[in-house]
Structure 1
Amino acid sequence: MDKTERRILNILKRRGGQRLSLQEIQRRFTTGRERKAVLKQLARLVSRGKVTKDADGKFSITSAKKRLVGRFEPTNERFGFVIPVSPETNDIYVPAQRWGGAIDGDIVEVAFTKRRGGRTTGQIVRIVKRTRHELAGKVLKRREGMFLVPLSAKVFHEVVVVNNEAGPVEDGLVVNAVIDKIDDRLNRINVSIVEVWGKPDDPEVLCRIVIARFNIPTVFSDEALDEARRVPRTITESDLRGRADLRSLVTFTIDGEQAKDFDDAVSIERRDGGFRLWVHIADVSHYVAEGSALDKDAYERANSVYFPGSVIPMLPFELSNEICSLKPNEDRLAMSVQMDLDKRGEVCASKMFKSVIRSNARLTYTEVGSLLEQHRKGKDVSEDTPGFAQYLYDMDDAAQLLTKARMSRGSLDFDLPDPVIILDLQGKPEDIVREERNPAHRLIEEFMIAANEAVASYLTVNGCKCAYRVHEPPDDESLIGLSQTLKSVGMKVSFAGGDLSNKFQQLIQRVRGKRIERLVSYLILRALKIAKYSPENIGHFGLASSCYAHFTSPIRRYPDLMVHRFLKQQLKGKSKGKVKMTNEALKEATHHCSVRERAAMGAERKIVKMRQAQFMADRVGERFTGIISGLTARGFFVELDQFFVEGFVPLVSLSDDRYSFSEEKQCITGEKTGRRFRMGDAVKVRVRSVQVPLGRIDFKLIDAST
């Protein structure tokens, strides 16, 4: 080790973890030559992980903690998380000033420790790889030069345009730029503009921002498109070999009005004391061979991504909307799950097989939901779905049995609707409403859960590989924190002893329809872990299922496609048509799919936020009523009554007092007045400002007496 390196380490060790700037370290050296060498040796020590450099350019000795490599994801709250490469490890919390110069998406090495209270906290000690090479942003022209307001990444550096290769660009337009240099010391990023995208409220520009932000692949390879074009458009006699012919069985699909890819269909027979139910899933694996170009592109995407009015599909439309889509009155290849239900809603027998089906009708959630709601009220509206009404009534009865059985074992059921963006002919939002769930949604949901469980159990019993959908129970620290917070809002709950999932379910039922329901649901969701894919079966806590996998959507989810292949292998016999995937490859694939699912969900949430902001942009200054839907240290969120839109009230905008947030009590309180804000409180607000590309809506509280 170099003499200067040893001195630097001794200086930092003697400071007991205190951070020092470059100048503070250099002052401890006497000659100009030594001081010049300090910068070079510090860089070497940081690259080797012996010294940590924080985002503000200060240095400290790296403590002897555990380390791992992962992807860095900052938040708007100026803290971040490292998402480990290893699927067995939970996310690492990284507070502000411990980012070590990392930006959104970087692959980093983090030193971490688990503190009291259960939170694993870390410090980024090395940037392994810069993954973000481009940055989309809004042009900001100043006297001293041109800058970008980052939109495609959570970046807190100043972004300076040093070169413009796209020609003249107007202030306020959205552009795409190449990152030339990241200067952590100056907290600055130098970029070169390479493409002008357009105005920040243009729907296409908003999509491009989100696609760039979450790194969503949008272009299929030429090889994959060529394979898709060569897929036959009709079924041949050779396709039918070894398949059960179910074309005479009354079968139909139930989907949303705008759906174009129908990957599941259902059939039913009422039997003495129960039902025989069939769930038919498009046989995508028949057309997408393992290791093919189509397979590689599908794997990279891992899922379809749904935006208001458009979709980025996992498979080319030639497959997803054509030969793999279970269209009415057309023969289609399927993988069918046959299940016998007893009068308690338990699946007492099941079998899986390859099939050919012919859907009799394409039904929608709206028409089926309306029929079932009227039937439950004793009204006959069977003429709305001629020929299918009795089948739908039987399905509704079966679904209610399945729901009752699932809930009796402790499955969780949150009533948290999603926003639906209604677009006009120009693609602009004209209304935003709550997603309505009716009996038809529940019917399909229950049938798909039952099929997923049946397939997962079959593969497990037969010792086959499987890409399980797993959901771990909350850890003890989370349960203690949840119990304490609930106690502070007047609810005494003990999670000790007994069945935990049943305790959670009883808690949800206890607050159903009450003002406190949203708060309790939020607190429970915060205590729960994130569901993911895994080669190991550890059960699914949220569904109270001991064995679960995703099987029912192979058109839009890659894990389902893997499960289809494993199922086919078992049905054939392990010696025939063996799936090539090794145990290590399966482990990597399930982790990859979990990561891409997270990106897709982030993209879908972000575009909805942008569209909500776009909808409210013409309503700045208008007044609305709403309820408080979320609390943070910086302020509170308000969900409007008139539109399903959420905005933010910053605490700094409340001028009548100084307010502080108590996470334990889940309230914001004024120091002098004692005025409190809690989730569920009714308030009146005025739209203060809107930033469409950021998906941000700011409100100002206008009713001080609320």
Structure 2
Amino acid sequence: MRLNGFEPEFSSAVMREMRSLGDPSDNPRPPGVRDLRALHWSSVDNRESRDLDQIEVAERLADGSIRIRIGVADVEGLVPIGSPADQHAAVNTTSVYTGVAVFPMLPERLSTDLTSLNEGQDRLAVVIEFDVAHDGALGKASVYNAVVRNKAKLVYDAVGLWLEEKGPAPAAIAASSELHDQLRMQDEAAQRLRLARSIAGALDFESVEASPVVVNGKVVDLAVARRNRARDMIEDFMVAANRSVATYLIERGSPSLRRVVREPKRWDRIVALAAELGEVLPGKPDNVSLSAFLARRRVADPEHFPDLSLSVVKLLGPGIYVLERRLGDRREMGHFGLAVADYVHSTAPNRRFADLVTQRMLRAATSGGARPYTDQQLTEIASRCTERGEAARKVERTMRKVAGASMLEERVGESFAAIVTASSPKGTYARVLNPPVEGRIVRGGRGLDVGDTVRLKLVVADPMRGYIDFAHEAGDASRKLERSRRKKAQADRLRARIGEMFDAEVTGVSESGTYVRLLDGSAEGRVVRGYKPLSVGIQVKVKLVNTDSVHGFIDFEYTQGVDPSKEERRARKRAAALSLRDRIGQTFRAVVSGTSKKATWLKIEPDEIEGRLVRGRRGLSVGDETGVVLLAVDPDRGFIDFAREDSI
């Protein structure tokens, strides 16, 4: 943190200030502050989140519109400008989440207590209210102060599975018909907003950034948070709220800190990536065309869409903060990715200084009071927030690399499939598909570009410095890249034929896999199920089971070699993974049920649920008992991963 210019600790002056604070909910309700505690507010966030910045509630209106109220933590009221806490926040400008530890922008006395919208507690909030029409259009915004009470702290994963009808209702929703109806109505409003943004050209991304999984204070794994309808719903509400606040400030003649993403400088590479998939984008940046392309790819290949997202996000470039004081058509350009002209950050004042500044600007605009900052001060704050945001991402990337290097240090010399994530004079970087770690290509990176799928050899994994270095065999690079791009096109052509049978010849059998080439010459791919009876040169019928047009992977099944009991086992594992989704990090007693060169399997007691041991495999034999920690579950694919307790 210090190496990147952050103050990781709060000064004695800040801590004295915190000790002097009382709970504002104990005080009489201030004049002009509404009492909205009776509404059925709820929050949806990560399981581990303690700094709850916003809560939501919906109301259906007579004309069919849905009124959304976003309650944002009132931080401004307890953090005066120039106070010790404000000075610390102005230096760091953001909370930093390293996985092992959180370095909050504001002390926990505020961010997880007095200004956190915790379940069951009365809190002051700034309410952003807007109506969502049938077509997703936003009605006129209102902003006011209110006392609120969060009735339920909900979790993204559980709510998402329920909304998508892949899992049961979370306990709080099952126990309350009011909360049940609320979440359904909020989801309906979010779907309206998402459709309207899509038509306008908003870009639909899915992140594949991995976050450390922490058990007992130690990083034991890296996990990617997959998008679902709950995450989409909150994202849609935050975008709508931030747009509403930007418009509200403009209408009152107030300057603001705008968040903008300019047109991408590497649009030509985005066009080339689309061309590899048989798509044509215009020669000049066009967010509507890019949005339509991304939407088609999400439908065509949802499983691998996140990696395409990653490539496009890297090519778009980061957002920046700017001072906006011009009105009308003379305003600065907007947010290319969100397809909106006016956008501020306003919904996370516990975690981002820009949002706290916006909250102060709102207070002045609403009350008619003096502006809290001069234009020069806002310009300096915008620059500082942009620079500190990049520094925070650097710290978080470093910690992901430390975790990734510790996971890979025993695998130096192995090769991995990876996708190139950055290419510039400063270096070429790639992200391994599994585990999801990023490193630098220190040899053979010339000629590679963002979005290329390559096979890399791990040459350095240094947890102390967070170094992960790869080498690429450059001698045959052009041929391999051309083959990879050809396979991407083949995979895309075959995606509509998943489930069909093909005549094929076995072309390769080794520890790395069994491969076939279709007799009509249209494609080649890997046999992922039923491959044990196969040998090179024989001709067989294979079923197409999966295509990955992002990486150029094509998977087949040799049906005659598949044990029918494995399908039943796969269904049981999906159900078991779903039952374990709330038990990540818990310990179990287990018995080893199977071992091979590639994997070790075990059953946990007393449930007899089987999973894969991914950490601490060495020295175990069938029948051995051991303690394990649950690392990750994937109900869609039936994956259940454990680590040996003494390995972490």
Both proteins in one fold, TM over 0.5: yes
Following the alignment from structure 2 to structure 1, what is the Cα–Cα distance between the partners of residues 162 and 291? 29
Residue 258 of structure 1 and its aligned partner are, at CA, apart by 0.7
Q: 2:464 aligns with which of 678, 688, 693?
A: 693
Corresponding letter in the other structure for 2:47: E
1:249/1:620 CA distance change after superposition, 3 Å:
same
What do residues 190-242 of structure 1 show as CA deviations (whole Å, max 9, x unaligned)? xxxxxxxxxxxxxxxxxxxxx13311111222222211221112424444321
Following the alignment from structure 1 to structure 2, what is the Cα–Cα distance between the partners of residues 479 and 522? 15
Following the alignment from structure 1 to structure 2, what is the Cα–Cα distance between the partners of residues 625 and 604? 23
What is the aligned partner in structure 2 of residue 310 from structure 1? 101
Contact persistence 1:518–1:679 (CA under 8 A): no
What is the aligned partner in structure 2 of residue 386 from structure 1? 175
Q: 1:606 aligns with which of 395, 398, 410?
A: 398
What do residues 116-169 of structure 1 show as CA deviations (whole Å, max 9, x unaligned)? xxxxxxxxxxxxxxxxxxxxxxxxxxxxxxxxxxxxxxxxxxxxxxxxxxxxxx
Residue 335 of structure 1 and its aligned partner are, at CA, apart by 0.1
Q: 2:5 aligns with which of 184, 193, 215?
A: 215
1:618/1:429 CA distance change after superposition, 3 Å:
farther
What is the aligned partner in structure 2 of residue 581 from structure 1? 373
What is the aligned partner in structure 1 of residue 130 from structure 2? 339
What is the aligned partner in structure 2 of residue 453 from structure 1? 243
Residue 382 of structure 1 and its aligned partner are, at CA, apart by 7.6
Corresponding letter in the other structure for 2:40: V
For the residue of structure 2 that corresponds to 1:429, the secondary structure is: strand
Following the alignment from structure 2 to structure 1, what is the Cα–Cα distance between the partners of residues 424 and 74? 50
For the residue of structure 2 that corresponds to 1:443, the secondary structure is: helix
Corresponding letter in the other structure for 2:397: R
What is the aligned partner in structure 2 of residue 558 from structure 1? 353
Contact persistence 2:222–2:403 (CA under 8 A): no
Residue identity (%): 28
Following the alignment from structure 1 to structure 2, what is the Cα–Cα distance between the partners of residues 395 and 305? 30
Residue 419 of structure 1 and its aligned partner are, at CA, apart by 0.5
Following the alignment from structure 2 to structure 1, what is the Cα–Cα distance between the partners of residues 434 and 46? 24
Structure 2 unmatched ranges of 5 or more: 325-330, 484-648
Following the alignment from structure 2 to structure 1, what is the Cα–Cα distance between the partners of residues 269 and 457? 35
Residues 52-71 of structure 1 correspond to what in structure 2 (within 5 A)? none
Residue 396 of structure 1 and its aligned partner are, at CA, apart by 1.0
Following the alignment from structure 1 to structure 2, what is the Cα–Cα distance between the partners of residues 236 and 310? 31
What is the aligned partner in structure 1 of residue 453 from structure 2? 680
What is the aligned partner in structure 2 of residue 509 from structure 1? 295
Corresponding letter in the other structure for 1:680: T
Contact persistence 2:400–2:437 (CA under 8 A): no
Following the alignment from structure 1 to structure 2, what is the Cα–Cα distance between the partners of residues 315 and 352? 24
What is the aligned partner in structure 2 of residue 645 from structure 1? 437
What do residues 16-52 of structure 1 show as CA deviations (whole Å, max 9, x unaligned)? xxxxxxxxxxxxxxxxxxxxxxxxxxxxxxxxxxxxx
Following the alignment from structure 2 to structure 1, what is the Cα–Cα distance between the partners of residues 48 and 2? 26
1:489/1:367 CA distance change after superposition, 3 Å:
closer
Q: Residue 322 in 1 paired to residue 113 in 2?
A: yes
Following the alignment from structure 2 to structure 1, what is the Cα–Cα distance between the partners of residues 160 and 237? 15
Following the alignment from structure 1 to structure 2, what is the Cα–Cα distance between the partners of residues 362 and 339? 23
Q: Residue 592 in 1 paired to residue 592 in 2?
A: no
User: Looking at CA atoms only, which structure, 1 or 2, has the larger radius of gyration?
Assistant: 1
Q: 1:267 aligns with which of 57, 76, 88?
A: 57
Following the alignment from structure 2 to structure 1, what is the Cα–Cα distance between the partners of residues 165 and 307? 33
Q: 2:447 aligns with which of 632, 653, 662?
A: 662
Q: Residue 289 in 1 paired to residue 80 in 2?
A: yes
Q: 1:409 aligns with which of 192, 200, 219?
A: 200
Q: Residue 531 in 1 paired to residue 305 in 2?
A: no
What is the aligned partner in structure 1 of residue 281 from structure 2? 493
What is the aligned partner in structure 2 of residue 463 from structure 1? 253
What is the aligned partner in structure 1 of residue 336 from structure 2? 541
Q: 1:360 aligns with which of 151, 154, 160?
A: 151
For the residue of structure 2 that corresponds to 1:694, the secondary structure is: coil
Task: Return 269-278 or 396-405, whichever deviates more.
Answer: 269-278
Residue 330 of structure 1 and its aligned partner are, at CA, apart by 1.1
Q: 1:572 aligns with which of 349, 367, 374?
A: 367
What is the aligned partner in structure 2 of residue 87 from structure 1? none
1:436/1:480 CA distance change after superposition, 3 Å:
closer
Q: What RMSD in Å do the two structures reach over aligned CA positions? A: 3.1
1:640/1:559 CA distance change after superposition, 3 Å:
closer
Residues 208-247 of structure 1 correspond to what in structure 2 (within 5 A)? 211-247=1-37
TM-score, scaled to structure 1? 0.60
Corresponding letter in the other structure for 1:604: E
What is the aligned partner in structure 1 of residue 510 from structure 2? none
Contact persistence 1:282–1:325 (CA under 8 A): yes
Following the alignment from structure 1 to structure 2, what is the Cα–Cα distance between the partners of residues 483 and 438? 28
Residue 488 of structure 1 and its aligned partner are, at CA, apart by 8.2
Q: Residue 444 in 1 paired to residue 241 in 2?
A: no
